[in-house]
Homo-oligomer: A and B are copies of this chain.
Amino acid sequence: MEIEEVKPGDIEERSFEMISEELGDMELIPGTEPIVKRCIHTSADFDYGKNLVFSEDVVSKGMEAIRKGASIVTDTQMGKAGINKKKLAQYGGEVYCFMSDEDVAAEAIKNGTTRATASMNKAAKRGEKLIFAIGNAPTALIQLHKLIQKGDINPELIIAVPVGFVNVVQSKEMILSLENTPYIVAKGRKGGSNIAACICNALLYMMD
C-alpha cells in the first residue's frame, strides 16, 4: 500500500470524502450528517452511522445555544482539551471541567459519590446556559437526569456518549427518556471523551 500524496491542508477533506464513499447510501437524518461523519472521522468506527440518536431539532437547538453564549461542561480534561475553545469563545462560551476541583473531590468523598456526580451538582449551581458533553462517566448522566427531574437544572443540550461497561447503556437510556431536554446520545457502549469533543466541534464548524 503506497503513501497517498495529500497536502496538509487537504487531509481532513480527503478523509471526509473517504467516509462519505464508504457510508454509501446509508440513510442519515438530514442535518446530522456532519456530526455522524465527524464521529466516524474521530474513531474510524462506522458503528456511529447507526448508534447516534438525535432528539427533535437538536442540531439547530445546539447551535442556537452556542450562538447565545452557552458554555460547555465536560466530565474529563481530555474532553476539554479536544474542544475548539477559540471557536466557542467567538460566541462567548467557555469550556469547564470541574473534575479536578478541590471542592468537587471533597463533596464526592463526603457523599460517597463519584467526582462526576459532584461536578454535575457544581454545574447546576452556576445558573447559566450550559451544554453537557459527557464522554466518560455514566454517573454524570444519572445525576443530570436526577437534577433535571428535580427542576434544578435545564441543560441546553446533553451530549451523552460515555464509553464502557458499568451502567453505560443504562445511563444513556435515562437521557433518551427525557422529554424536554435536547440530546445527542450514542446508544450502546461506545463513545468517549474524543467523541464528546468531536460532536461539540461538529456543531461549531457547522456554524461557520
Residues of A within 8 A of B (CB): 1-4, 6-8, 11, 14-15, 18-19, 41-45, 76-78, 80-82, 108, 112-115, 139, 142, 163-171, 173, 188-194, 197
* CB proximity of A95 to chain B, nearest CB, Å: 12
Can you name 24 A-B pairs with beta carbons within 8 Å? A1-B169, A1-B170, A2-B170, A3-B171, A4-B170, A6-B167, A7-B112, A8-B114, A8-B115, A11-B114, A14-B166, A18-B165, A41-B165, A43-B163, A43-B190, A44-B190, A45-B45, A78-B78, A78-B81, A78-B82, A78-B193, A80-B81, A82-B193, A194-B194
CB atoms of B81 and A165 under 8 A apart:
no
* CB proximity of A193 to chain B, nearest CB, Å: 6
**Given A41-B165, A43-B192, A81-B81: 7 more A-B contacts, CB < 8 Å:** A2-B170, A6-B166, A18-B166, A19-B165, A43-B43, A77-B81, A193-B194
Distance in angstroms between the alpha carbons of A197 and B142 in the assembled complex: 26
* CB proximity of A180 to chain B, nearest CB, Å: 22
Known A-B contacts A11-B114, A78-B82; A4 and B166 likewise in contact (beta carbons under 8 Å): yes
Contacts of A82 in B (CB 8 A): 76-78, 81, 193
Distance in angstroms between the alpha carbons of A6 and B167 in the assembled complex: 9
Contacts of A113 in B (CB 8 A): 8
Distance in angstroms between the alpha carbons of A134 and B42 in the assembled complex: 14
Contacts of A3 in B (CB 8 A): 142, 167, 170-171
Distance in angstroms between the alpha carbons of A45 and B1 in the assembled complex: 26
Distance in angstroms between the alpha carbons of A7 and B117 in the assembled complex: 12
